[in-house]
C-alpha cells in the first residue's frame, strides 16, 4: 500500500526526457530536491526523503534488498555493516505482508563460527520514536571498547521510524508544508499560554483523527507497537543463529525490554535495563510518575552552583570575578533562577544570532525546555553553560539560550524557491516526537477524559510532583487517540541500572520493576542525569562489562560513584583525591571509552525530544 506523491512539473520545455533527467540530478545534489516530488511506492523512509543534499556519509538503504537471512553490506565508515531483515508485518499472519528492519552492526573481530564469538548485543537508545541506527552508530566504537570485540554490536530502527519500512511519517503527511503546519499547531509547553492544555488536547484529537482517516498511516501505526518490536528483537537474534537475546537498552528501551522479558522469559540472555521506566504506568497511558526525581536533580545543580566559582548564576553581579569568594547561597540562586524565568514570561527577548542568521523569541517556555534538557546530562560543563545562558538572558542577551535550544528557523526557509511548500527539503517537524506519540498512544489502554477539567486535574497532580510537569505532555496527546502486569521468571537474571536523581526515570521505578523479575539486581549510580551514560562511572561500566562477559551480577545494594561533576571545582559527595587515585589506578583507555560514550550520549541520547 504505497503512498503516492505527485511529481512537480515545471515549464513546458522540460518535457524532453534527457533534459528533465539532467535537471533532476543537478537539483538533487545542489538544491535539496527543491521543486521535486518523488513518486513513493514502497514507503521510502522519511530520513531518506528529507535528507540534505549529497551528504558525504550518505548510504542508500534502498540498495539493500530485504531478506530473511542477514546479508551484510559495507555502509558508512569502516568497519560498519548494514542489512535489512525481512519479518512478517503481523506475526499472527506470517505469510502475509512483510516489514524490513534496518540493522547496523559493528562486527566482532571474530566470525560467527569462531569459538570466541559471543553473539550480538542489541541496543535501543530510548524514545519512543527515535531511530536507533544514527545514535548507536556514534556510540558503537565505545560500546566495543567497554564490553568487548567478541560481540557484534547491533543497532536497529524500530517499526515505523528511520530506515525501517514501512515508515510512519511519510504515510501521515504528504508534504513538508503539511508537516510544518502541524508542528506549528503544537504548543511548546502545557503552560505556555492560558489555552495551551486545551490546544494540546485538541491537537492530540486532530492527530488521532488524521491517522484514522488516512489509510496508509492507520495501516503503519497498527504495526509499530512495542510488543511487535520486542518480537522483532527475537527475530533479529535468531537471524544471528542465537536464541537468547542480549541487549543494553536505555530509558523507553527499558519498557521495550520489560515487554520482551514478559513475552519471552525463556529467551532472556544478558539484559541490561538502564534508566528504568515503570512499564505498568507506561501501558496505562498515564505518564504521571516519570518526574518524581526531576526537581531533586535541579536542587543538586543549584547546590553545586552556590559552591562553585565557575557558576555564573551564583555571582551576585557581573562585576564579581569568577575567582571571588562572594557567591550567592543556594536559596538566593534558586530565587534568581525563578526571577529570570518570570521575567522571560513577561518580556520575551527578540533574538537574532549574527553568527548564523538564526532568530527566535526567547521566552520562558524555551528557557525551561533548555533547563529540562540539561538535567538529562548536567555533568562536565553542560549545566554551567545553561546557567551562563540564563544569566545572559537576564541581561537581555538571548543568543546563548537560542543556541542551546537547538531551534533553527533555517528549516523553514525555501532557498531558490518561491513555492510555499518547498517540497521535501529537510526535517521540519520532529520525526521522533510524532512517531513517539503514535507508538506510545497505540501501546496505551484507551485514555479517557470526559472533559478538559479532568485532563487539567491530571496535570495539576503531576505539577505537585515536579515544576517541569508542563513539559511532559504525552498523556494529553493520548487522550485524543482512538494495564498489564510485567513479571517473569527469566532464563537469566536481569540487571537494572538507575541514577539517584534521574529526571525522567526515577530510581523508584527500577526498584519496582526489579521485584517482577526473579533474581534481578538494581545497580544504583550516585549521580543526577538520565541513564548511567549521563556521567562517567568506571564502577558502573565495569559492572555492566562483567555482567555481559561473565554473567556476574553486582551485589544487591551496590552504589557506584561517578568521576564527573556538575561543576568541576565542587566536590559532591566523594573525596576528590580518592577518585583521582582510583582513576590513576584504572586502565585509562577503558576510562576514555566510558567518557566518550557519555559525551556522545549527552549530545544524541534520550531527552532531545522531551520523551524518555
Region 159-170: what's the mean pLDDT?
A: 89
Distance separating alpha carbons of residues 146 and 348, to the nearest angstrom: 45
Cβ proximity of 549 and 147 under 8 Å: yes
The predicted pLDDT at position 420 comes to: 45
CA distances from 147 to 140, 437, 483 (A): 10, 33, 35
Task: Give the residue, 326 or 21, on which the prediction is more confident.
Answer: 326
- The string over 266-277, giving b where at least 16 C-beta atoms fall within 10 Å of a residue's C-beta and e elsewhere, is ebbbbbbbbbbb
Answer whether residue 175 shows pLDDT above 90. Answer: no
Q: How many CB atoms lie within 10 A of CB 511?
A: 14
Overall average pLDDT of the 353-377 stretch: 93
Q: Retrieve residue 557's grid coordinates.
A: 545494594
CA count, 13 A, side-chain hemisphere, 520? 28
HEC letters along 386-426: HHHHHHHHHCCCCHHHHHHHCCCHHHHCCCCCCCCCCCCCC
Closest CA to 239 of 64, 104, 71, 82: 71
182: nearest Cα among 208, 155, 157: 208
Residues of the chain above pLDDT 70, percent: 79
pLDDT at 45: 36
Query: What DSSP character marks residue 609?
Result: T
Name the strand (E) or helix (H) holding 306: helix 294-306
CA dihedral (430, 435, 440, 444) in degrees, to 10, reads 130
| pLDDT tens digits along 355-366 | 888 889 999 999
Q: Does residue 1 surpass a pLDDT of 50?
A: no
* Cα distance between residue 331 and residue 346, in whole Å: 23
The one-character DSSP state at 552 is P
Listed range (215-224, 328-337, 349-358, 484-493) with the worst mean pLDDT:
484-493
- The span from the CA of 374 to the CA of 365, in Å, is 14
Q: What is the mean pLDDT of residues 561-573?
A: 79
Helix (H) or strand (E) run with residue 86 in it: strand 81-88
Strand duo 98-106 + 559-560: pairing: unpaired
Separation of alpha carbons 387 and 499, rounded Å: 22
Query: Tell me: the pLDDT tens digits for 236-271?
Result: 999 999 999 999 999 999 999 999 999 999 999 999
φ, ψ (nearest 5 deg) of residue 208: -60, -40
Average pLDDT, stretch 181-186? 78
Most confident by average pLDDT, 116-125, 217-226, 406-415: 116-125
Phi, psi of 222 (to 5 degrees): -65, -20
Check residues 27 and 66 and name the one with the higher pLDDT. 66
Per-residue pLDDT for 319 more than 50? no
Q: Does the pLDDT of residue 52 top 50, yes or no?
A: no
The three-point CA angle 302-188-131 to 5° equals 90
Question: Comparing C-alpha atoms, which of 600, 219, 609, 173 is closest to residue 442?
Answer: 219
Query: Alpha-carbon distance 55 to 302, whole Å?
Result: 42
Q: φ and ψ at 486, to 5 degrees?
A: -110, 95
Three-state DSSP state, 6:
coil
- DSSP code per residue over 36-71: -----SS---HHHHTPPSS-TT---GGGSPPBSS--
Alpha helices for 347-394 (secondary structure H): 364-376, 382-394
Helix (H) and strand (E) counts for the chain? 22, 12
Amino acid at each position: 500500500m504505497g503512498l503516492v506523491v505527485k511529481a512537480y512539473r515545471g515549464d513546458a520545455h522540460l518535457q524532453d526526457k534527457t533534459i528533465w533527467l539532467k535537471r533532476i540530478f543537478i537539483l538533487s545534489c545542489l538544491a535539496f530536491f527543491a521543486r521535486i516530488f518523488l513518486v513513493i511506492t514502497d514507503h521510502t523512509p522519511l530520513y531518506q526523503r528529507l535528507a540534505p543534499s549529497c551528504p558525504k556519509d550518505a548510504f542508500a538503504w534502498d540498495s539493500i534488498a530485504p531478506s530473511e537471512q542477514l546479508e551484510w553490506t559495507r555502509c558508512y565508515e569502516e568497519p560498519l555493516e548494514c542489512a535489512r531483515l525481512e519479518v512478517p508485518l503481523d506475526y499472527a499472519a506470517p505469510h502475509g505482508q512483510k516489514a524490513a528492519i534496518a540493522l547496523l552492526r559493528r562486527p566482532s573481530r571474530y566470525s560467527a563460527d569462531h569459538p570466541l564469538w559471543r553473539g550480538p548485543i542489541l541496543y535501543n537508545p530510548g524514545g519512543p520514536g527515535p531511530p536507533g541506527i544514527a545514535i548507536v552508530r556514534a556510540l558503537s566504537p565505545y560500546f566495543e571498547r567497554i564490553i568487548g570485540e567478541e560481540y557484534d554490536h547491533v543497532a536497529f530502527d524500530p517499526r515505523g521510524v528511520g530506515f525501517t519500512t514501512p515508515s510512519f511519517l511519510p504515510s501521515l503527511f504528504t508534504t513538508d508544508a503539511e508537516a510544518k503546519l502541524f508542528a506549528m499547531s503544537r504548543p511548546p509547553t502545557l503552560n505556555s499560554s492560558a489555552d495551551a492544555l486545551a490546544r494540546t488536547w485538541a491537537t492530540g484529537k486532530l492527530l488521532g483523527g488524521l491517522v484514522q482517516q488516512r489509510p496508509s498511516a492507520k495501516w503503519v501505526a497498527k504495526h509499530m507497537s512495542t510488543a511487535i518490536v520486542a518480537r522483532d528483537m527475537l527475530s533479529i537474534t535468531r537471524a544471528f543463529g542465537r536464541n537468547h537475546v542480549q541487549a543494553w537498552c536505555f530509558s523507553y528501551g527499558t519498557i521495550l525490554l520489560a515487554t520482551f522479558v514478559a513475552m519471552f522469559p525463556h529467551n532472556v540472555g544478558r539484559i541490561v535495563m538502564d534508566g528504568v521506566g515503570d512499564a505498568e504506568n507506561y501501558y496505562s497511558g498515564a505518564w504521571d510518575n516519570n518526574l518524581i526525581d526531576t526537581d531533586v536533580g535541579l536542587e543538586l545543580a543549584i547546590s553545586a552552583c552556590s559552591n562553585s566559582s565557575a557558576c555564573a548564576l551564583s555571582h551576585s553581579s557581573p562585576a564579581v570575578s569568577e575567582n571571588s569568594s562572594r557567591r550567592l547561597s543556594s536559596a538566593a540562586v534558586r530565587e534568581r533562577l525563578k526571577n529570570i524565568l518570570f521575567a522571560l514570561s513577561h518580556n520575551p527577548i527578540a533574538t537574532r544570532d549574527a553568527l548564523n542568521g538564526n532568530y527566535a523569541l526567547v521566552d520562558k517556555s524555551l528557557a525551561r525546555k533548555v533547563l529540562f534538557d540539561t538535567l538529562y546530562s548536567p555533568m562536565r560543563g553542560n549545566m554551567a553553560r545553561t546557567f551562563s545562558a540564563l544569566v545572559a538572558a537576564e541581561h537581555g542577551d538571548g543568543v546563548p539560550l537560542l543556541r542551546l535550544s537547538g531551534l533553527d528557523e533555517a528549516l523553514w526557509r525555501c532557498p531558490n524557491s518561491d513555492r510555499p511548500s518547498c517540497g521535501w527539503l529537510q526535517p521540519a517537524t520532529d520525526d521522533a516526537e510524532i512517531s513517539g506519540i503514535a507508538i506510545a498512544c497505540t501501546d496505551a489502554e484507551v485514555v479517557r477524559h470526559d472533559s478538559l477539567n479532568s485532563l487539567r486535574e491530571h496535570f495539576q497532580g503531576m505539577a505537585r510532583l515536579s515544576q517541569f510537569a508542563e513539559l511532559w505532555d504525552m498523556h494529553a496527546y493520548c487522550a485524543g487517540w482512538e494495564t498489564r502486569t510485567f513479571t517473569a521468571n527469566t532464563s537469566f537474571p536481569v540487571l537494572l541500572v538507575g541514577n539517584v536523581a534521574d529526571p525522567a526515570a526515577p530510581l523508584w521505578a527500577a526498584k519496582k520493576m526489579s521485584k517482577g523479575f526473579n533474581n534481578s539486581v538494581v545497580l544504583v549510580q550516585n549521580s543526577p542525569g538520565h541513564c548511567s551514560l549521563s556521567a562517567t562511572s568506571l564502577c558502573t561500566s565495569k559492572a555492566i562489562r562483567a555482567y555481559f562477559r561473565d554473567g556476574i551480577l553486582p551485589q544487591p545494594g551496590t552504589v557506584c560513584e561517578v568521576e564527573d561533576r556538575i561543576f568541576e571545582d565542587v566536590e559532591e559527595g566523594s573525596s576528590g583525591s580518592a577518585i583521582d587515585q582510583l582513576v590513576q589506578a584504572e586502565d585509562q583507555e577503558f576510562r576514555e571509552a566510558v567518557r566518550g560514550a557519555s559525551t556522545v550520549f549527552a549530545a544524541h541520547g534520550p531527552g532531545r525530544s522531551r520523551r524518555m
